[in-house]
Amino acid sequence: MGRSILDESHIHPAIRDRVAAHHAGIVREVQAAIAENAVVVVGMSMNPFPRKARRLLDAAHVPYRYLEYGSYLSQWRRRNALKMWTGWPTFPMVFVNGVLVGGANDLAALVGSRELERMLSQASPPTPPSDTPPSARR
């Protein structure tokens, strides 16, 4: 899968640190939750789909960590950093063993096909992907 992301070489050096640091705290918080939990649901209040995802997991007796960031009326800038990091446009964002599996409807399909059960029976969650640009990893 190829997803277009502006290459670091096309970002002026004077603003690279600002781009990298923009709402980086929320991304680090989600990365830490992913590293510590087999299933993580990232959502927002007033949106019925995070609630649907949590109900699916509760019904399947799957433990999970839920992170909630604002509502339709607040924290949209912080949530936007998560959308930019994952490339996923909506909430919830459901992670299983460090892998973004989609939203509530995608989770329902995994539960229905027993794929979620298979994924959870695999080894411990991998380390989540770094938000550090490749040129900075050495």
Residue 7: inside a domain: no
Under 8 Å between Cβ of 82 and 106: no
Distance between CA atoms of residues 34 and 28, nearest Å: 10
Residue 43: inside a domain: yes
Residue 58: inside a domain: yes
The pTM (predicted TM-score) of the whole model is 0.85
Burial class (CB within 10 angstroms; exposed 0-12, middle 13-18, buried 19+) of 111: middle
Q: What is the CATH number of the domain that holds 32?
A: 3.40.30.10
Residue 76: inside a domain: yes
Count the domains in the chain.
1
Report pLDDT for 4: 87
Residue 136: inside a domain: no
Distance between CA atoms of residues 3 and 86, nearest Å: 10
Q: Determine if the peptide bond prior to 92 is cis (ω within 30°).
A: yes
pLDDT in tens, the chain (138 residues): 688 889 999 999 999 999 999 999 999 999 999 999 999 999 999 999 999 999 999 999 999 999 999 999 999 999 999 999 999 999 999 999 999 999 999 999 999 999 999 999 986 545 555 555 444 433
Residue 127: inside a domain: no
Domain residues for 40? Answer: 15-121
Residue 26: inside a domain: yes
Distance between CA atoms of residues 31 and 8, nearest Å: 21
Residue 107: inside a domain: yes
DSSP string, 86-102: H---SS-EEEETTEEEE
